Each structure stands twice: as C-alpha cells, then as structure tokens.
Amino acid sequence: MRESLERLNDEWTIFHSVAWQSLRNGRQGDGEADFILMHPEHGLIVIEVKGGEEIIIEDGQWFSRHSQKGTLESIKNPFTQATASKYALLNYLKELSIPTNTVPILHGVCFPGATVDKSIGTYGPLEIVWSKNDLDYPAEMVQRLLNHWKENAHIAPATMKKIRQLLAPTVTVKRRLKDDVTDSERGLLQLTDQQVHAFSMLRKIRKALVTGGAGTGKTLLAAHRAKLFSQEGHQVLLVCYNTLLSRWLNEEFDGDPNVTVSTFHSLCFSEMAAASKSPPPEPDDLWWEIDAPESLVAAAQANGTRFDAIIVDEGQDFSRDWIAALSMMTPDDENTPFYVFADSHQEMYGRNWGIPDHWPVFPLDTNCRNTNQIAERVSGVFGESIKTRGIDGPPAIHYDYRPGSGSTALVEQVVERLLYEEGLRPDQITVLSDNKTYIESLREIGIGEYSFTEYGKVGVVAETIKRFKGLESDAVILVLASTNNDDSACELSMPYVGMSRAKSLLFVLSSPGMRKAIGWK
C-alpha cells in the first residue's frame, strides 16, 4: 500500500498511521487513520485499510482471512471506520482553526491483499474501494475516488504547512551544540526506532510511563511532546524536579504562552501566591514532602488552574502524592493526557515514586548522549549493558583521589589542559561533585582568565551533581568526594548521574574503593 502511494506525483503528501487527540471537546474528537493523502487542489483523503487475502461478509458481520493463519478474524466495517475518522479529523482541524471550508475531507477503503467483487457495493460505493489489483495503478485509483466525490480545494501553502505539522510532526531533534568536541558529535541527533515508536504511541494513548537510562532521550521526547500539544493550541504543564533543568526547559519554551515549565515546588509556591497563601517561613522536610502537594491542590482549585496535558520529567524524583496532586489540576483526570518520564537509577531521594499500575510502560534502552567509551562506564555502575549509537570518542579517564582532602589542584590541572592545550571553550567544560563544600571552594579560584562559576554564568561551570541532574556537557570532570563506598542503589545513583552528564570527555576523581564500587576496571 505504502509503496503504491509513494509513486504518486510530488504534489501529494502521504501520512501513514496517523493519530490525533482532541482535548477540548472530549474523547469524541480523538481519531486515527491508516493513511491520509493531502493535495492542494483535492483536499484530504482518509483511507481505512483492511488486510487479508479474503474479505467475507455474513449477515452484516465482516471477516478477514489470512492465508498463513487460515482462520477467519472478525473485523469492523471499514466504511463505518473511514467515515468516523473523516469526521473526527474534520472536528480536529476546526478546533485548531484550520479553514475547513477550503479543505474538503474525503474517505475511501483499501483491501491491499484481496480482490473484491460488486457485492461489496451494498456497503459503500465501489468507486471509493481500492483492491489488490488497483495498487499497480495508483494515479488511476486515486482519480476514480476523486471523480466520485467531485470536490475541489485550494489549500494555501501556510495551511498545508500547518496540517503537515499537526499530522506528521518531525522526529528529528537538533542538539544545541555550541561547538564540536569530536567529529562524531557533528550534525543532528536522529531518534532511534525505539524512540520514534514511543513518540508515535504517545499520540494514541493518554497515560504512559516512559522509562530509560541516562542519555536515552527522555527529556528530548518530553519537550517534543509538549511542543506538539502547544502547536495544537492546548495548555501544557511540563514539570520536573531540578531547578537547573527547569531553567533550561524554560529557555526552550521562551515565548510560548501555551507551555508552563516549572519545578514541582516552584509550581506549589506560584499557585499558593496566586491564592494569597504563604508557605511556612522555614519549611521542614514534612512540609516539602507532604504538605506541599496538599497546598498545591487547594491553591489550584481556588485559582481555577487547569491544564489540558501534563508531562513530568525526572519522574523518579516525584512521590505518588505529588503525581496525584498534579492529576487534580486537569479538567478530566481519566481523559487528560498525562505522561511521566523516569529513570529508576537516578532516584536520589527515596520517595517511593510510582504511577498507577494500569498505565502502559514504554522502555528506551539506547544511549544517544554518550560516546561508547563513556556509555560503557555509565552502564557499568549498575553492572548492566546498554545499546549505544556506536559513536567512538576519547577514553574516559580515572584519577585516584583522597576524599576529604579538599584539594582542587588536580581539577585545576585538568581544566587548564582542556582550555589551553586542547582548545575547548570554558562553556564546554563542567566540574561536578557530590560535595557542595568542594564546589564552593572551586568557585573561589580561577584558571588563567577564567573563573569557576555556577550554571548560567560566564566561566567554567562548577555544580553539585544533584543540581546538574538532567543537563549535559561536552566535557565533565567528576569529583566523588564521598568516603562512603556502599554499593547500594541510592549510593551508586550519584556517580551514575554525574558520569552520564558527559557527552564526549569524562574524567573521574575518586578513591580506589569508590572506583571499585562503580565497576571501573
């Protein structure tokens, strides 16, 4: 079927396996189509496809027989499905202010594996039916359908472009590399087949958990899904835990009035302020964990705050109470899209995170951020293996370091070499540590004309691992100052997160005991 349609002239745009969601008018606006054809002078054609070498209709019930299986399978009436998809698409485009008076929507049915006879005409016009023999002559079969409907169109280029964006959003994401550290990092990051599948499924379902290790593209997919909802005119909440990640996401959505980006607790504060409520002067742990989500629900209800879709990144840092509180900020908890992206290996706070048991789970297992050399070290922390994009880079380097010494000399030497011998810019280098005091001491010194500074300022960034979680850097110098060499999951999450921030260059400073604990042979 696809091969046949690809032989049409270039004025036709072919969309395959299309799904859309309508949030404002409820579930009745949802729809999907096997194929949609678009032409500036003919409009849109929705095609319902039914497989099988034989189509049988008995007492109004439709069946399909496949030669390999040999058994009859009950199928839905394809004419009814095509008509329903056509009107669902019409309502969807109207809702998004597409001038449907100039965009006629037609429908047809295709049986690519079977030859049909005239008896099927009882259920629908034969002129809109395509069978196995028709696929050899795609232009003729399309023209026959157009002759039946007798519709004309004049779709403006801008409208064509908007429909393309709605029905077939790009699955290519461009990284904002300020410069290339190695040749392997040049160009675009193409989503893996697994990510494309996850992205496609998120257009068809309303609740989902997307899991994956560091570097598997969770944040990129979360942001891309938010952008698509925004293009459709929906109010979206994109919420994470980490302040620096929230800052980066806010830059990505700067000027987009449809997307609200926030950390969970910043959302609590902003809603409470709008409701003229104040948090305690010095909130304790109980308030942050338990009272904050309760205050969010009360304030949001008082403010009338509602979102058409909610996307949570860093889901492993959210307790079940937090997820429940966010779900209360939707007009319809059951039908509102709600997606959570998470990596259990990055769980640092012991909040017993989780989502409802009935939510489907889509795993990602291909590391798209790190070179092979760094990905091997990252996956080795938990003794696991992970797929990579096969991009080689310089070897990751370990230096023995005496925790508790507080010495910054070795870090200064590595940074100085990267700046003045290897030619890296300061904004390509990040120093991370599990010790806040160590980072503070670094920020009091400089390397030549450059100083160590916090994220977002000019200089070589020096941050704690927790604050930098969710971000990435071309080169990372990781200082593990902890003297606890426990190999528990909670302890190992810190080096796992720290090492996985590096895209091309990784230097790790730790004790021999920690080196062994993280599986660095």
- SS3 of 194, please? helix
Residues 85 and 505: their CA atoms lie apart, in Å, by: 50
Residues 167 and 12: their CA atoms lie apart, in Å, by: 14
**The pLDDT of residue 375:** 93
pLDDT at 173 over 50: no
pLDDT at 208 over 80: yes
**The pLDDT of residue 70:** 67
pLDDT at 192 over 80: no
Mean pLDDT value of segment 230-246:
94
Determine the length of the chain.
521
Confidence class for position 187, pLDDT limits 50, 70, 90: very low
Residues 27 and 30: their CA atoms lie apart, in Å, by: 5
pLDDT at 217 over 50: yes
Residues 163 and 161: their CA atoms lie apart, in Å, by: 6
- Residue-wise pLDDT for 19-39, tens only, equals 887 654 444 457 888 899 999
pLDDT at 174 over 50: no
Strand partners, 207: 338
**The pLDDT of residue 122:** 81
**The pLDDT of residue 170:** 53
Q: Which segments within 302-417 are labelled E, that is strand?
A: 309-312, 338-342, 361-364, 366-367, 387-388, 397-400
Closest CA to 385 of 207, 133, 213, 135: 213
Its sign, for the CA torsion 145, 65, 80, 39, is negative
Domains in the chain (CATH in brackets) are 1-167 (no CATH), 206-359 (3.40.50.300), 373-518 (3.40.50.300)
As a whole-number percent, the residues of the chain with pLDDT over 90 amount to 58
Taking the CA atoms of the chain, what radius of gyration do you get in angstroms?
27
Q: Enumerate residues 6+ apart whose C-beta is below 8 A from 136.
A: 4
Cα–Cα distances in angstroms (integers) from residue 22 to residues 209, 229, 256, 265, 333, in the given order: 21, 10, 20, 29, 15
**The pLDDT of residue 69:** 63
Residues 326 and 264: their CA atoms lie apart, in Å, by: 9
Tokens of 118: 């005239």
Strand 338-342 with 207-212, pairing: parallel
- The widest CA-to-CA distance across the chain, in whole angstroms, is 87
Residues 461 and 244: their CA atoms lie apart, in Å, by: 12
**The pLDDT of residue 189:** 46
Mean pLDDT value of segment 41-65:
89
Closest CA to 353 of 345, 332, 214, 380: 345
Closest CA to 518 of 406, 381, 360: 381
Q: Which residue has the higher pLDDT, 66 or 284?
A: 284
Confidence class for position 177, pLDDT limits 50, 70, 90: very low
- Residue-wise pLDDT for 420-441, tens only, equals 888 899 999 999 999 999 999 9
Residues 407 and 232: their CA atoms lie apart, in Å, by: 53
The structure tokens 């691992």 sit at 465
- 19 by Cβ neighbours in 10 Å (0-12 / 13-18 / 19+) ranks as middle
Mean pLDDT value of segment 181-188:
42
- Residue-wise pLDDT for 432-473, tens only, equals 999 999 999 999 998 888 999 999 999 999 999 999 999 999
Note the Cα 298 to chain centre separation in Å: 30
* SS3 per residue for 173-214: ECCCCCCCCCHHHCCCEECCHHHHHHHHHCCCCCEEEEEECC
* SS3 per residue for 110-157: EECCCCCCHHHHHCCCHHHEEEHHHHHCHHHHHHHHHHHHCCCCCCCH
Confidence class for position 172, pLDDT limits 50, 70, 90: very low
- SS3 of 424, please? coil
**The pLDDT of residue 240:** 97
**The pLDDT of residue 135:** 93
Tokens of 57: 């209709």
- Residue-wise pLDDT for 362-395, tens only, equals 888 888 888 899 999 999 999 888 888 778 888 9
As a whole-number percent, the residues of the chain with pLDDT over 70 amount to 90
pLDDT at 143 over 70: yes
Tokens of 340: 């959570």
Quickly list H helices, 329-432.
Answer: 372-380, 409-420
Q: Which residue has the higher pLDDT, 171 or 79?
A: 79
Mean pLDDT value of segment 104-130:
89
pLDDT at 317 over 90: yes
Tokens of 471: 């971000």
**The pLDDT of residue 256:** 93
Note the Cα 84 to chain centre separation in Å: 29
Cβ neighbours around 292 below 10 Å, total: 22
Closest CA to 395 of 505, 268, 313: 505
Cβ neighbours around 516 below 10 Å, total: 13
Residues 94 and 82: their CA atoms lie apart, in Å, by: 18
Phi, then psi, of 391 in degrees rounded to 5:
-95, 120
**The pLDDT of residue 123:** 86
pTM for the structure as a whole: 0.74
Note the Cα 399 to chain centre separation in Å: 36
Strand partners, 19: 32
Phi, then psi, of 164 in degrees rounded to 5:
-60, -45
The structure tokens 């949030």 sit at 23
- The terminus-to-terminus CA distance of the chain in angstroms comes to 52
**The pLDDT of residue 348:** 87
Strand 43-49 with 105-111, pairing: parallel
Phi, then psi, of 94 in degrees rounded to 5:
-60, -45
- 104 by Cβ neighbours in 10 Å (0-12 / 13-18 / 19+) ranks as middle
Confidence class for position 358, pLDDT limits 50, 70, 90: confident
Rounded to 10 deg, the angle between the 264-274 and 292-303 helix axes is 50
